[in-house]
């Protein structure tokens, strides 16, 4: 029983850590220059 409780506790902690690792990060930095414009394709 004690072994089972420890295993469940270990699994719970592992799940929390895995979830945190999967969701970590704070996004990124936007492009500092440039932008999108219509693409002109030359007629073939």
Partner 1 sequence: MTAIVGVLGAGVTGQAVGRTLRHRGIRTAWFDTDGAAARRAASRLGGVVLASIDDLGATDAVVVATPAPHRPGVATLLAEGCHVVSLGDDLDDVPGLCDLGAVAEAADRCVVVGAGMSPGLSGLLARFLADQLAVVDEIHVAMHGTGGPACARQHHRALGSRAVGWHDGEWFDRPGGSGRELVWFPEPIGPADCYRGALPEPLLLQRAFPDADRISARVSARRRDRLTARLPLLAPPHREGDRGAIRVEVRGAAADGARVTQVAGAVGRTGDIAGTVGALFAEVCADGRLAPGLTVAGADSVPTAWLLAAAADAGVMLQEYTGIARVAHT
Site residues, partner 1 (CB under 8 A): 19, 22-23, 25-39, 41-44
Round to the nearest angstrom and report the end-to-end CA distance of the chain: 75
Q: CA separation (Å) from 14 to 5, 10, 20, 32, 36? A: 14, 6, 10, 39, 43
Q: What minimum distance in Å lies between the beta carbon of 19 and partner 1?
A: 7
Q: What minimum distance in Å lies between the beta carbon of 7 and partner 1?
A: 22
Looking at the Cβ atoms of 4 and 23, the one nearer to partner 1 is 23
Looking at the Cβ atoms of 2 and 38, the one nearer to partner 1 is 38
């Amino acid at each position: 029983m004690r072994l089972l409780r420890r295993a469940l506790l270990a699994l719970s902690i592992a799940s929390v850590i895995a979830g945190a690792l999967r969701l970590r990060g704070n996004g990124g930095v936007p492009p500092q220059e440039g932008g999108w414009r219509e693409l002109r394709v030359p007629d073939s």
